[in-house]
Structure formats: C-alpha cells, structure tokens
C-alpha cells in the first residue's frame, strides 16, 4: 500500500466523522432540552384569599415540589398523580441541617421566608395546600424531570479458552 492511499482513506474517515458531528450539532440546536434531558423549574405565586385549604395551577406535569412562605405559620401540601390518586399530606418544613447558617449571606437573603425542603413526589399534575397559623405569602417551585429511557444492559461472559 502506498502512503498516498492511506492518507486518502484517512481523509474520507475524517470527512464522515465531521458530517456526523455536524448532524449531531444541528439536532442539538433544534432541541437542546431533549438533547440533554434537562429538568425544568417553574415558580408559582400561590394566591392567598383567607382560605385554610387551597390549590393553584401547577404546570401540567411535575415530579418535585419545594415551598417557600412568609409568616409565622406553617404549610402542608399533597399532590395528585396522573391516575387521580392524592398523596398523604406532607409538612413543607425544612430539616434543621438544611437551613442556612445563621450568619451567612444566604440567611440574610432569605430573611422573612421559610424555606421548605424539596420533596420528590413522582409524576403529579395537581397540588393542594393547607395553611396553619399566619401565612402571608406562598411560593411553589415545581421541577419536571423528563423520563430517561436507558436500555437494558446485557452482560456477556467471555468464552472459555480450551
């Protein structure tokens, strides 16, 4: 084989690889969230009209919820699955180790707000809230994470040598 023939073959392989990279890049630009299977975050200000139990319009689908509220009261929530089943009521209160350090900038930035832990609720399409005590504002944060289909792995055992 000549050096010239090997170089020609190499350039053809590079050209095919570059075309493949270009196609992947174009698909990425066309649908970046699909390409990276990114989660989406939506925040809703929940209107409070003096009711103790209320609901708001969440996004069409969500998997995780976090609640922040103002006031000395507390908040509970429950979610509904797409099949129509409601979950049990959950307290939105954070655990002690999840609170900002008292002298931190994060604590100063959240002054007056109670920060609830994020809760994984699974596929849901509705949410209801129950307020206890004085709650003057309520914000709900919804995360939707797309289903990622991972193919089953097959394990192969190396053939025994004789």
The residue ranking higher by pLDDT, 50 or 127, is 127
158, two tokens: 């190396």
Strand extents, DSSP E, the chain: 40-46, 53-55, 62-70, 74-80, 90-91, 113-115, 119-124, 126-132, 137-144
Lowest mean pLDDT among 13-27, 35-49, 55-69: 13-27
Going by C-alpha positions, the residue among 127, 125, 141, 117 that lies closest to residue 62 is 125
67-109: pLDDT as tens digits: 999 999 999 999 999 999 999 999 998 776 666 677 777 766 6
Length of the chain as a residue count: 162
Q: If you average pLDDT over residues 133-152, what whole number do you get?
A: 83
Q: What pLDDT, on a 0 to 100 scale, did the predictor assign at position 124? A: 93
What is residue 98's DSSP assignment?
G
How far apart, in whole angstroms, are the C-alpha atoms of residue 34 and residue 19?
21
Going by C-alpha positions, the residue among 146, 87, 139, 104 that lies closest to residue 118 is 139
- CA distances, 4 to each of 9, 10, 11 (Å): 9, 10, 11
Going by C-alpha positions, the residue among 88, 142, 78, 75 that lies closest to residue 114 is 75
The residue ranking higher by pLDDT, 77 or 5, is 77
- Averaged pLDDT of the chain: 76
Q: What pLDDT, on a 0 to 100 scale, did the predictor assign at position 90? A: 94
How far apart, in whole angstroms, are the C-alpha atoms of residue 50 and residue 146?
35
Q: What pLDDT, on a 0 to 100 scale, did the predictor assign at position 95? A: 72
Lowest mean pLDDT among 31-35, 84-88, 91-95, 132-136: 31-35
pTM: 0.62
What is residue 74's DSSP assignment?
E
126, two tokens: 């509705």
What is residue 77's DSSP assignment?
E
């Amino acid at each position: 084989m000549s050096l010239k023939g090997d170089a020609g073959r190499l350039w053809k392989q590079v050209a095919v690889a570059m075309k493949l990279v270009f196609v992947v890049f174009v698909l990425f630009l066309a649908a970046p969230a699909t390409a990276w299977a990114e989660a989406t975050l939506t925040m809703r200000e929940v209107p409070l009209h003096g009711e103790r139990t209320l609901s708001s319009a969440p996004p069409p689908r969500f998997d995780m919820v976090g609640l922040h509220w103002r006031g000395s009261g507390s908040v509970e929530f429950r979610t509904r699955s797409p099949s129509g089943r409601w979950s049990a009521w959950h307290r939105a209160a954070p655990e002690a180790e999840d609170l900002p350090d008292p002298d931190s900038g994060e604590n100063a930035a959240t002054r007056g707000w109670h920060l609830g832990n994020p809760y994984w609720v699974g596929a849901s399409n509705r949410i209801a809230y129950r307020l206890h005590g004085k709650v003057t504002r309520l914000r709900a944060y919804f995360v939707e994470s797309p289903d990622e289909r991972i193919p089953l792995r097959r394990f192969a055992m190396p053939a025994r040598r004789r």
